[in-house]
Chains A and B, each alone.
Chain A
Amino acid sequence: MPMPWNSSVFVSGSIAAPAIIITCALTLLFAPHVASRRRSGWMGELALAVLLVVSLATTSGAISFGATAAAAFIIAGEALRRSRTAALTLALAGLALVGAALAMQLGHPQVAFVASIVSFAMRAGVFPLHGGIGSLTHRSLTLQLQQLATLPTSVFVHLRFVDHEAIAYELAPAIVAIGTASALAFALIALVQPSLHGLLRTSVLMHGGMLFAAVGAAGRGHHAAALLVSITLGLAISGLGIMLAALQARVGDLDTLAPGGRARAFPRLALGVALFGGAAVGMPGTSGFIADDLLLHALWQESVPSAVMMIIASALLAVGTLRTFALAFLGTPVPVLAPDLDAAERGVLVVLVLWLVVLGVVPGMLVDPATRLLQ
């Protein structure tokens, strides 16, 4: 007897993978604006939104990569005033994507694959290329969230146009190994982070390694893992970032935040941080759980040590997350006068959690049409 959550019920012709990905990306793009109630500075987001739509809607690989390159350049331009390292990293990633677009236009998809992978290594912050993306967390959280919002689209474009090349199959073990090593390194670093900012930074970079490994494994047909990992990275880490930005607006610099109990003063904020932190480390009921499950099976088929290392990395990040959460929110209460999350922030929290839960409970809604399209 089929049950109502059987994925086939939800997969109709009108709900296709690109539509879900672009809706998710647009949610991520505008969520920080809505949460911070910013009335100006929407032009950058609007331009990015148009480029993301173009990159997903077109059937031309060259235009698709060109649009993602333009998105990377826009974020690099914005980053220039905040962090030159981040701007340089994103500009180089953009150049690699331009290379991919040209290669597609000239009929060299294998070159396009290599260029796309290079751009992923930079934008995901794979060790030791992580300086720029890492500094973006400290220098401009908004830009970091923007660049995370563009990642699922980039992954889809990569899977759609260049991932079926022979070189993708051949390079898969190396990419998986690099991504896994990077994820494990940052999970270890997360264990000793003294601040919430440090936790967010290492979480972004650990998931970057995870994403890189997932993109590598996709070279041998594991598309679903790469897609779900990229979307979970976007939703969970963006949610975490938005919550931490809200905390920073209330208590000041998170790097110098004294340990102490703030959960009583900010119960909703604490819950938000806990939910997004949990989703990022595979909490059941969220897309993180399914993403981890799929990724581990994909990695196991490529390399058993990589799968084991990724499992250990995920466990270490979970411990690091709870430890840092406890430092900032639990323990002897500290006096706080600021209010808890306001209506806009609560709205964003609910929407992002809903995305995580829906994709966690009905992953087939995305995975089935995406798999059909990509195969």
Chain B
Amino acid sequence: MSAETVELVMRWAVLLAILLPLVAAILIGLLLMGRGRWLGEDAVARTITSALFASAAASLVAGACHVFVPGSRVPGNIEYGDWLAVGNYAVPIVALVDGIALAFSLLAAALTALVARFSRTYLHKEPGFARFFVLLGLFAAGAQLVAFAGALDVFFAGWELIGISSAMFIGFFHDRDEPVRSSVRAFATYRLCDVGLLIAMVTMHEVLGSTRFSALATAGTLPPLESATIAALFLLSAMGKSAQLPFSGWLPRAMEGPTPSSALFYGAVSIHAGLYLMLRVAPLLAEAPVVAGVGVLVGAGTALYAAAVARVHTDAKGALAHATLSQIGLILAEICLGLTTLALVHLVCHALLRAYQYLRAPNMLHDVHQHGHTEHRAMMFARVAPRLSARLYAASVHRWRLDERIDGLIAPVLRLARALARIDGRLSGVTDRHHDAT
């Protein structure tokens, strides 16, 4: 096979991996909004699941082109033209196909397709069945966009799609108040941490002349302060998406969603998206040792926190969420230490294991009810330092009061907002009048 043919196949494979789930989700969404009664569960599930398996196949083809065709590897950027070009500013539509991208793409596509197949039975006759599959399609498109994005603008579009679908999955059972509150909290954390990614994106364009990930190869030419600032902004964004300290509070709340979405988002793909971003910007981290050090501390701290909380959690999904978080913390530390290959292997294995564990959680509860709990003996730590152990236990039961601490940080902002609202009310005088909007 000639190099041109391989490039053409890969170009279309990457495009199809992204577009197939998106088109299927939009199509089903439009049909549901138009004449929803015509669409049965089977038609919805079959359409989306087929698109997801086709997307996984396309991702596999891209991987095969990259790995198995001798002498015609197609590393680097695949250009699809410009989304927008104004003067010297352009938003390129570019895919970056390398080992990291293919690993994450295959992982996301395969797990999404399997979870879709699992959900077809698991969510049978559940209210919101069709909505679940439409969201799954949107999420899959976002995950593929993130995996293959060669420029930050495209990456951000996928990143936002993941964030929006994630918030919608958390609030999936929107007839209850708690999932809705959790959804708003998770979205707020995502969006406020995304400020880091947006600022990093604009800064990168200004100082490196491009938002392409390949431009980070020249990060060594930047002044130390600039590279450290951009790296810190990326780290902030990744901390929000991957629920690292101090933003870990939203993760246990995210378990309000259906079990298959918890498996996919908070066990397998979405929770690892922040780590994938850090893998992508690893060359920049190498130029910013202080930020890398902070990343190691954050990762290690999160691992310790999550391990402690996981041991005292009484609900299965909550305990799993914190167990996941402890490994995520370790992977972040590995990336920041420069062990990117180890981190990638760790990430893939961890995602596979957690997806399985989340999907099996209801069965595990069934087994526990059948066979009873396993008795745990006190740890050596509890015998050696009982008072410290008791304190740690109490703190972990309350999840170290992370939510309260974050609320305390946000409180002044809300006070300022209320003060501004009062000033606005006085200035415009509309708050105490009768309104007669047409």
Q: Which residue of B lies closest to A312 (CB)?
A: B195
Which residues of chain B come closer than 8 Å to A7, judged between CB atoms?
A: 82, 84-85
Q: Which residue of A lies closest to B418 (CB)?
A: A192
Are A332 and B157 closer than 8 Å at their CB atoms?
no
Q: Which stretch from B110-118, B198-206, B212-220 is at the chain A interface?
A: B198-206
Complex CA gap A333/B161 in Å reads 27
Of residues 115 to 142 in A, which have CB atoms within 8 Å of B's CB atoms?
A: 128, 130-131, 134-135, 137-142
Complex CA gap A364/B92 in Å reads 13
Which of A131, A315, A323, A367 is the one whose CB lies under 8 Å from B194? A315
**Looking at chain B's contact residues, is the secondary structure mostly helix, strand, loop, or mixed?**
helix
Which residues of chain A come closer than 8 Å to B380, judged between CB atoms?
A: none
Are B435 and A255 closer than 8 Å at their CB atoms?
yes
Q: Does A278 contact B (CB under 8 A)?
A: yes
Q: Does B413 contact A (CB under 8 A)?
A: yes
Of residues 181 to 199 in B, which have CB atoms within 8 Å of A's CB atoms?
A: 181, 183-184, 187-188, 191-192, 194-195, 198-199
CB distance from B100 to the nearest CB of A (A): 22
Q: Does B171 contact A (CB under 8 A)?
A: yes
Complex CA gap A368/B87 in Å reads 10
- Given that A245-B438, A248-B437 are known contacts, is A319 also in contact with B414, CB under 8 Å in the complex? no
Which residues of chain B come closer than 8 Å to A141, judged between CB atoms?
A: 437-438
Are B81 and A3 closer than 8 Å at their CB atoms?
yes
Complex CA gap A189/B205 in Å reads 31
Complex CA gap A282/B201 in Å reads 15
Complex CA gap A197/B153 in Å reads 33
Most chain A CB atoms below 10 A, which of B180, B187, B427: B180
Which residues of chain A come closer than 8 Å to B180, judged between CB atoms?
A: 326, 330-331
Which of A191, A263, A282, A367 is the one whose CB lies under 8 Å from B174? A263
Q: Does B416 contact A (CB under 8 A)?
A: yes
CB distance from A144 to the nearest CB of B (A): 9
Q: Which residue of A lies closest to B154 (CB)?
A: A284
Are A331 and B414 closer than 8 Å at their CB atoms?
no
Q: Does A300 contact B (CB under 8 A)?
A: yes
Which residues of chain A come closer than 8 Å to B418, judged between CB atoms?
A: 192
Of residues 310 to 342 in A, which have CB atoms within 8 Å of B's CB atoms?
A: 311-312, 315, 318-319, 322-323, 326, 329-333
**Count class of interface residues, chain A:** 35 or more
Are B175 and A319 closer than 8 Å at their CB atoms?
no
Are A188 and B417 closer than 8 Å at their CB atoms?
yes
Complex CA gap A49/B175 in Å reads 44
- Given that A135-B430, A301-B206, A326-B171 are known contacts, is A293 also in contact with B91, CB under 8 Å in the complex? yes
Which residues of chain B come closer than 8 Å to A371, judged between CB atoms?
A: 86-87
Of residues 391 to 438 in B, which have CB atoms within 8 Å of A's CB atoms?
A: 413-414, 416-418, 420-421, 424, 427-430, 433, 435-438
Are A137 and B171 closer than 8 Å at their CB atoms?
no
Which of B176, B184, B199, B433 is the one whose CB lies under 8 Å from A311? B199
Which residues of chain B come closer than 8 Å to A60, judged between CB atoms?
A: none
Complex CA gap A76/B161 in Å reads 41
Q: Does A261 contact B (CB under 8 A)?
A: yes
Are A189 and B174 closer than 8 Å at their CB atoms?
no
Are A5 and B81 closer than 8 Å at their CB atoms?
yes
The 8 closest A-B pairs by CB, nearest first: A284-B157, A138-B435, A188-B417, A330-B174, A6-B81, A131-B428, A330-B180, A319-B188
Q: Can you give 24 A-B contacts (C-beta < 8 A)? A: A5-B81, A131-B428, A131-B429, A134-B424, A135-B428, A139-B435, A139-B436, A189-B417, A191-B413, A192-B414, A253-B435, A278-B164, A290-B84, A290-B91, A293-B84, A300-B203, A318-B191, A319-B187, A326-B180, A330-B174, A330-B180, A331-B180, A332-B176, A364-B82
